[in-house]
Amino acid sequence: MTIDRVGNYQETVMTHRPTALITGASAGLGRALSRALAGRGWRVIGTARRGDRLDRVRAELGAAFIAVTGDVTDPAHRARLAEVAAGAGPLDLVVNNASRLGPSPQPRLADYPLDELEAVYRTNVVAPLAILQAVLPMLDLGGVVVDVSSDAAVEPYPGWGGYGSAKAALDQLTAILAAEHPELAIYSFDPGDMRTEMHQAAFPGEDISDRPEPDTVVPALLRLLDERPKSGRCTAADFAVAR
């Protein structure tokens, strides 16, 4: 297998169809990225809790999309994902995109329900690591990991203590994994504000129609995958594609 200068896989002795595992694939950025990768000839293993939404993605993308319904915080579901990934052959990309916002409206930390905080950390920190522990041995040499982060990981926005601190923990976890696995490209990727259900829940009752659609962020993420710079934290703005 060889990779040309824009990151496209080319045929050598046999054709290798690149494979990605994407969590939170039924909506928002996960769905938009699944669509874009399928258009490039990739096979996508997509997971999310809403089976009906996953079915719609599968109906749109056909055989390029393998739907595995379940919750990433469930160990049995993660084991199933690993089983499906092993059956699909070497992985080229893992995208930990599934996230949990927490209560809406978001409370200040002094009032944050601790059971809710634990749930946010289970989804945003523990589950991504657990998935990577299960599938890192399946990643092809030179494979890519993208953990979807947020500017709330680095900016102390009042009311964002639960989600923001969880994403900060994910950033540090990602950085350490990158140091421990120099053979892989491992990134925290901050997509910026997007017009998604979770972003709407963060601002209940407000008009967020001025936020960009997730599809507009995908070109920057694809450029990251194509260029594969040194592992680290990056934002969509770093890889903005001129129009």
Q: Which residues are the active-site residues? A: 163
Report yes or no: 163 and 120 within 8 Å, Cβ to Cβ: yes
Strands 9-10 and 2-3, sheet pairing = antiparallel
Helix (H) or strand (E) holding 232: strand 232-235
User: Position 100: which residue type?
Assistant: R
User: Position 107: which residue type?
Assistant: P
User: How far apart are the C-alpha atoms of 10 and 3, rounded to whole Å?
Assistant: 6
Peptide bond into 105 cis (omega under 30): yes
User: How far apart are the C-alpha atoms of 70 and 49, rounded to whole Å?
Assistant: 5
Query: Which of 122, 97, 123 minimizes the C-alpha distance to 44?
Result: 97
Q: Which two tokens stand for residue 13?
A: 């002795």
The Cα-based distances of 196 to 7, 27, 103, 187 in angstroms read 29, 8, 16, 22
The Cα-based distances of 35 to 85, 91, 213 in angstroms read 19, 18, 14
- Secondary-structure percent of the chain, ordered helix, strand, coil, rounded to 5: 45, 20, 35
User: How far apart are the C-alpha atoms of 91 and 229, rounded to whole Å?
Assistant: 19
